[in-house]
């Protein structure tokens, strides 16, 4: 059996509930269609080609490089930025009153091509499909959702909800992920080794978030007053809402912000949204696993980045 032998073997098309109209509004809406590009690199290239800051672009999530994908993007700029280039197109669709974000994704539609199936594999696949038709399938969030997870230190959003600001910032700025470039991995390891030496960290910084965060911490160390940041809306809702997410959650909305909180607010809005989405997805997966164990329904499992995925056998009627 072979999966993803070519980009067309794995197709992902996003559906959104974003209201798109033809009457001009504050955000232009585009459809980004791409193959062989990840979302950030493609939008970065478009931003540079059109002379628009990347910070004005908003989208729901990062789509796979090794796939044919389509997704919605909003841009806070009145000009038509439509563009076609090798590997991607950026096509204007209309206008919206709000930016695109993870909360505007209804679902992703996947089309998979499986090659070189053996007769035995094909038989098991057909049996599995019949079982799914009869009993459904557990809608786990898979490993792609947990890109911000640090296996040693955990989830950034969990630390935020516990009021452990410095730990959250340290994970955000120094966690090393497999898909990153060799240079980025080396830089993050160096930042972690020098954590607390803010001037040295600032000298190593390359991204805007790194420069602003370490610049703020270096200034605070010299006596500058930190700026009160905007609390990420996903976290603010949990802090004010009913399902408490851990000690210190309410403090996010009310406590006077210190330097680590202020530095965290310098993270791109999309990153902050993904931190919250990753932890939310983890809690859902854990709830499903606990339900399966409590009913004695676990028949198989598969390893995962944030813990095993458990699957039932034939369920009782």
Pairwise CA distance, residues 254 & 247, whole Å: 14
**DSSP secondary structure letter of residue 222:** T
Choose, from 8, 9, 41, 64, the residue flagged as catalytic: 64
User: Which 8-state DSSP code applies to residue 179?
Assistant: T
What is d(CA 220, CA 315) in angstroms, rounded to the nearest whole number?
58
* Euclidean distance between CA atoms 226 and 282, whole angstroms: 32
The residue to which tokens 């959104």 are assigned:
16
User: What interhelical angle do 165-174 and 208-221 show, nearest 10?
Assistant: 140
With tokens 């452990």, the residue in question is 164
Q: Which two tokens stand for residue 230?
A: 């905007």
Please state, as a whole number, how many other Cβ atoms lie within 10 Å of the Cβ of residue 27: 22
C-alpha 88/C-alpha 67 separation (Å) is 12
| Residue 166 three-state SS | helix
142 HSE (CA, 13 A, CB side): 4
Q: Considering only CA atoms, which of 260, 265, 307, 310 is closest in space to residue 154?
A: 307
Both tokens assigned to 9 = 């073997």
Active-site residue flag, 64: yes
**Within its chain, how far is the Cα of 95 from the centroid?**
24
Distance (Å) of CA 277 to CA 232, 244, 295: 12, 16, 27
The count of residues in the chain is 317
Q: Which of the residues are catalytic?
A: 64
């Amino acid at each position: 059996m072979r999966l993803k032998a070519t980009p067309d073997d794995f197709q992902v098309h996003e559906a959104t509930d974003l209201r798109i109209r033809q009457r001009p509004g504050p955000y232009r809406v585009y459809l980004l269609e791409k193959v062989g590009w990840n979302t950030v690199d493609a939008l970065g290239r478009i931003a540079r080609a059109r002379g628009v800051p990347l910070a004005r672009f908003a989208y729901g999530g990062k789509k796979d490089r090794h796939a044919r994908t389509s997704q919605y993007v909003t841009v806070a700029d009145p000009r038509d930025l439509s563009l076609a280039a090798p590997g991607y197109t950026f096509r204007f669709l209309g206008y919206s009153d709000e930016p695109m974000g993870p909360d505007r994704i209804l679902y992703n539609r996947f089309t998979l091509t499986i090659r070189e199936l053996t007769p035995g594999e094909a038989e098991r696949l057909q049996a599995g499909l019949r079982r799914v038709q009869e009993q459904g399938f557990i809608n786990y969030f898979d490993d792609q959702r947990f890109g911000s997870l640090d296996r040693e230190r955990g989830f950034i959003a969990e630390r935020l909800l516990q009021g452990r600001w410095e730990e959250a910032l340290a994970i955000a700025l120094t966690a090393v992920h497999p898909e990153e470039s060799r240079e980025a991995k080396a830089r993050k390891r160096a930042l972690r080794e020098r954590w607390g030496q803010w001037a040295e960290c600032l000298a190593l910084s390359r991204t805007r978030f790194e420069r602003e965060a370490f610049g703020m911490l270096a200034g605070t160390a010299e006596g500058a007053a930190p700026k009160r940041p905007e609390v990420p809306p996903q976290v603010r809702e949990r802090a004010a809402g009913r399902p408490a997410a851990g000690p210190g959650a309410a403090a996010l909305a009310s406590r006077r912000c210190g330097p680590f909180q202020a530095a965290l607010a310098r993270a791109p809005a999309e990153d902050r949204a993904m931190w919250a989405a990753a932890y939310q997805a983890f809690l859902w997966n854990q709830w499903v696993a606990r339900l399966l164990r409590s009913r004695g329904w676990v028949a198989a499992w598969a390893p995962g980045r944030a813990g095993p995925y458990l699957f039932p056998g034939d369920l009782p009627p």
